[in-house]
Amino acid sequence: MTSMYRSGSPMLYPIKLQPVFKDYIWGGRNLEKFGVILPRGKTAEVWEVSCHPDGINIISNGMYKGLNLLDYISVMGKDAVGTDHYSSEHVSFPLLLKLIDARDKLSVQVHPDDEYANDNENGELGKHEAWYIMDAKPGAQIIYHVVDGIDKNDFIESVDKSEIDQSLNYMNVFAGDVIDIYPGMIHSIGAGIVLAEIQQSSNITYRVYDYDRMDKKGNKRTLDIKKALDVIDFVPNNRKAKALGIDLRINSGAHKSFKLANKYFSLEVYWVEGEVEEHTDGSKFYLYLFLEGEAIIKYKNGRISVKAGESIFIPASMGKFTIKGSFKALKMYVPDIESDIIAPLTGAGHSRKEIYEKVCS
Catalytic residues, which ones? Answer: 207
Residues 49, 287 contacting (CB under 8 angstroms): yes
Task: State how far the alpha carbon of 324 is from the alpha carbons of 112, 133, 274, 301, 306, in Å.
Answer: 40, 25, 6, 16, 10
Task: State how far the alpha carbon of 116 is from the alpha carbons of 25, 41, 203, 213, 283, in Å.
Answer: 28, 36, 14, 28, 28
Calpha distance 166→162 (Å, rounded): 10
Provide the 3-class DSSP secondary structure of residue 91.
strand
Task: State how far the alpha carbon of 134 is from the alpha carbons of 105, 168, 212, 234, 326, in Å.
Answer: 16, 24, 28, 29, 18
Cα-based torsion angle of the residue sequence 175, 180, 183, 184 in order, rounded to the nearest 10 degrees: -80
Q: What are phi and psi for residue 264, nearest 5 degrees?
A: -95, -35
Calpha distance 261→30 (Å, rounded): 28
Task: State how far the alpha carbon of 303 is from the alpha carbons of 59, 62, 289, 324, 332, in Å.
Answer: 17, 11, 17, 11, 21
Residues 126, 115 contacting (CB under 8 angstroms): yes
Non-local (6+) Cβ contacts of 338 within 8 A are: none
The Cβ-side half-sphere exposure at 27, using a 13 Å CA radius, reads 19
CB atoms within 10 A of CB 130: 25
Task: State how far the alpha carbon of 63 is from the alpha carbons of 8, 9, 12, 15, 103, in Å.
Answer: 15, 12, 10, 10, 38
Structural element, H or E, at residue 226: helix 225-231
